[in-house]
Structure formats: structure tokens, C-alpha cells
Amino acid sequence: YAMFLSLIFLIVLVAAVVGFVFRHEIKTNFESNLNLALRDYNVTSDRHSEAVDTIQRTLHCCGVQNFSDWERTEYFTQRGIPRSCCKSQDDCSEEDLKDLTKAKPKVFVDGCFFLVTSTMESKMSVVAGISFGIACFQLIGIILSCCLSQYITNNQYEMV
């Protein structure tokens, strides 16, 4: 049991170190994937399009760096900025969404990349604290299982 807990502890430790070391690469990959999702955005029920809509609605953001990122997409030439960028769904008309100057007061202007990464970084201390607590419990479990193993071994020799 101690070996099993030690193995899990090492796996979690390695995952934490790798995540910390490669955090900049994770950010870069997220930004490039968000740019790809914007470029390939469409109205059909595509997973990436739904993810972009969910991020924009939840975090009140639009585009990668700002709302004008949509201007470089194929979707913008056909339909304008997506409705998920609108501050109020009642106040957003399709004509307004096709013109960036008219759309600016009606859509979220902040980009999603900065908001997502800042939200993740702000929650990192909570995740680190919980992980540290779990690691402490695992170490206590390892120590206690080794003590129990030693106790069982000593008692067998005393019975003989």
C-alpha cells in the first residue's frame, strides 16, 4: 500500500513540476488554438465554436486580444461578430455586428486570452493549496502504512 501511495505521489509531483515548467508553452498553445477556433468559427454545432461562444459569454470578452480580431475571420465577412460577444442580446442587431464602429459600444471589447489566463493564474494558489493538502495526506498515509507493516512483521516473530 505504501508503494502504491508513493507511486501516486510521484506522479502528482512530476505533473505539477511539468505544468510549472511548461506554463509558458501552455499559454502559447492556448492562444494559437483560440486563434484557430476563431478562424474556423461557424454557426453549426461545432465543439470549438461552442467553446468560443461559452468563453465569450461567461467571461464577457470578445476575440483573442480584442473584439476586432473577428474582422480577420471568414465568419465576419458573412455575418459579422458573433452574438456571444453582445453585452445585451436585445440591443445587438445583425447590421451593427457587421460594422466594427457600430458594434464597439454594443459588444465586449476585451479579448478572451488575457481574461482566461488571468483567471487561471488567480485560481492557481487555490489549486496549489489543495494539491499540497492532498500530498500531505498521502505522505501521512505512506508513513502510517510503513509503520503498520513494521508492526505486523515484528509481531509475527514474537508469536513464534
pLDDT at 65 (0 to 100):
92
Q: Does residue 35 fall inside a structural domain?
A: no
pLDDT: which is higher, 52 or 153: 52
Q: Does residue 115 fall inside a structural domain?
A: yes
0.85 exceeded by pTM: no
**% of the chain with per-residue pLDDT over 70:** 94
pLDDT at 18 (0 to 100):
83
Instruction: Report helix, strand and coil shares of the chain as percent, to nearest 5.
Output: 75, 0, 20
pLDDT at 152 (0 to 100):
80
Helix (H), strand (E), coil (C) string for 31-52 = HHHHHHHHHCCCCCCCHHHHHH
d(CA 63, CA 95): 19
Q: Does residue 61 fall inside a structural domain?
A: yes
Confidence of residue 27 (pLDDT cuts 50, 70, 90): confident
pLDDT at 43 (0 to 100):
55
Confidence of residue 22 (pLDDT cuts 50, 70, 90): confident
| Number of folded domains that form the chain | 1
Return mean pLDDT, the chain.
Answer: 85
Q: Does residue 87 fall inside a structural domain?
A: yes
Provide the 8-state DSSP code for 86: B
What pLDDT digit, counting tens, does each position of 119-151 carry?
888 887 788 788 888 888 889 999 999 888 888
Residue 52's nearest CA partner among 88, 81, 23 is 81
What pLDDT digit, counting tens, does each position of 45-83 carry?
678 888 888 999 999 999 999 988 898 888 888 888 888
Tell me which H or E stretch contains 131. Answer: helix 112-159
Q: Does residue 29 fall inside a structural domain?
A: no
Q: Which residues sit opposite 110 in a β-bridge?
A: 66
d(CA 133, CA 143): 16
pLDDT at 2 (0 to 100):
84
Q: Which domain holds residue 149?
A: 1-23+52-153
All 3 cell numbers of residue 98? 457587421
62, 85 contact by CB (below 8 A):
yes
Q: Does residue 138 fall inside a structural domain?
A: yes
Q: Does residue 158 fall inside a structural domain?
A: no
Confidence of residue 14 (pLDDT cuts 50, 70, 90): confident
SS3 of residue 107 by DSSP: strand
Q: Average of pLDDT values for 83-106?
A: 86
Q: Does residue 45 fall inside a structural domain?
A: no
